[in-house]
Amino acid sequence: AVAEVKLRDDQYTLDHMRAFGMYNYLHLDSWYQDNVYYVDQFGRVMNLSVTLDTALQKPREVFRLPTDLTAYDNRLCASIYFSSSTWVTLSDGTGRLYLIKSGKRGDSASEKWEIVFNEELGSPFIIAHSVSFVKSGTHTVAVLLLRVEKDELDTKGSGFHVTLEWVTIAEISKEGDHRYEICRRRVLQGKSVPHYAAIEPSGDGLMVVSYKPFKFIQEEEDKLEENDDAKTTSEKKDPLYYWQQTEDDVTIAVHIPQDITKDDIKVRFSPDSICVTLKDQPPVMEGKLYSSVDHESCTWIIKENKSLEISLIKKNEGPQWPELIVGDTKGEFIMDPSQRTEITECLMHLTSDVMNPNPEKEKPPCTAQELEECDAFLEDSASLCRFDGDTLQVTHVINLGSNQYLFSVVVDPREMPCFCLRHDVDALLWQPHSDQPENMWEHIATFNALGYVQASKQDKKFMACAPDYSYSALCECLRRVFIYRQPTPLSTVLYNRKEGRQVGQVAKQLVATLEASDPILGFQATNERLFVLTTKTLFLIKVNTGN
């Protein structure tokens, strides 16, 4: 039987359920078509590869975990990720990571799994993703480990946090001895299990789709330095200048020390910049103005209260400037009371004391009839973030809004996994390209009406699609599997009775009911077939016939 690990009483949160309770126990080897693996209760990694439809092989053992799993009380399920066509990362669920050289898989003659690295890495985890690459002539494997850990500081929330640990293992050659060692460990922390987390093929970055944000937890030394920086910035300095504006001019007031005379002040105007210096000090203000000015009409005077007043005449009358000097935070904008009233009046029509004051108007903001109960999903919106591996900073953030995350799929194992998002009634598949900054997320396929159809399936457990996009599929917790084919041209003539028009193509929906009373534990789709795993049975559903 499959080595299913049920949730313990202390794993009661939605995050535990998402990460471990809904775990897919069937692993598809994307490097070799129609090749699946699972771990059985004896800790054996079992493989089933489909060669001929008529002669199905029995699952065969390719590897056995050295640990006696039954001896561990707080273990998680074992997890596997195929980093390349010859490398595999494996976790036994007790907190130990194995790096395995498998040889060419899918071919029993050359397939031989041997451990080249194994190490205890702390509390139990599951492998979320891993990649194998060569950098500067060194073979490296990067692995992403997912944990849900107790958070003593969290008294208001669930009492747990989620960590993603990014571990880099590289080949080290010392005096002719080749071995693999950990060369870097980085930890991200967040408050929700990510929907999607993957390392870029080059190992340079990381992409995460999650409901709540993740951030890198730095080493202690970095933290101390950062605290010092924070102290200096928190001691907020007084503004060096104040400014006001009307539709056609800007007035700036700069406080000047007692000993400064008129000759010590230098003010330089140009059509799009300004520079003000007092004596031999660094400029009080300098830089590119938000918009152009008529520099020949600009003036400055010294007021009796020892302040320098500068008047700038706007070239384009009317628009308000959101800032004076681009990127400069040393000054403070003071709004005229009359301007404040004017802005409030302008915004008045956008707000109301009543939620929907005029429901009969031509374009109401929202009608409850458009939304069905099944369309509401738990989370308001997720975001997609890309983290840089060196700086550990976020380089891209995309708010996915109401585009609900549905599932991920490996279309090309050399690329990052794709993710599928709901867009209104449809589902769109996106392929990340970390090496193409202008086209970092490419829309590669559309599943018509899948967004709408899946929303009504209250018991759905897993979703998948064929790597060639020919169909999408979802399964419930028990027995039923739904298959949605892409539209195909018809050989016969078909008319839409309502509209009287001829229909050129039809998309078929199929339902398969499994002869099994055990819950579904694993679900994988290939171009030709679906693999469905229960505790004791592996079902194969032929969806497409081979070319």
pLDDT value at 422 more than 90: yes
How confident is the prediction for the chain on average, in pLDDT? 87
For position 220, what pLDDT does the model report? Answer: 42
Contact 409, 467 (CB under 8 A): yes
pLDDT value at 221 more than 60: no
Question: Whole-prediction pTM value?
Answer: 0.72
Q: Quickly name the fold that domain 241-329 has.
A: Immunoglobulin-like (2.60.40)
Instruction: List the chain domain ranges.
Output: 1-220+381-400, 241-329, 402-546
Strands (E), 102-248: 114-120, 126-135, 138-150, 160-174, 177-190, 196-199, 205-210, 215-217, 241-245
CA–CA dist 241, 209 (Å, integer) = 43
- For residue 518, the 8-state DSSP code is S
Q: What is the pLDDT of residues 41-54, one digit of tens each?
A: 999 999 988 877 65
Q: What is the pLDDT of residues 287-318, one digit of tens each?
A: 998 889 998 999 999 887 778 899 999 988 87
pLDDT value at 108 more than 70: no
Contact 439, 433 (CB under 8 A): yes
pLDDT value at 468 more than 80: yes
Strands (E), 246-338: 249-255, 265-270, 273-278, 285-288, 299-302, 307-313, 331-333
For position 368, what pLDDT does the model report? Answer: 46
Ranking 427-436, 471-480, 494-503 by mean pLDDT, the lowest is 494-503
pLDDT value at 319 more than 50: yes
pLDDT value at 363 more than 70: no
Which secondary-structure segment (H or E) carries 341?
A: helix 337-347
CA–CA dist 398, 400 (Å, integer) = 6
Q: What is the pLDDT of residues 250-276, one digit of tens each?
A: 999 988 888 888 888 899 999 999 999
Ranking 106-110, 143-147, 473-477 by mean pLDDT, the lowest is 106-110
| 371 burial type by CB count under 10 A (0-12 exposed, 13-18 middle, 19+ buried) | exposed
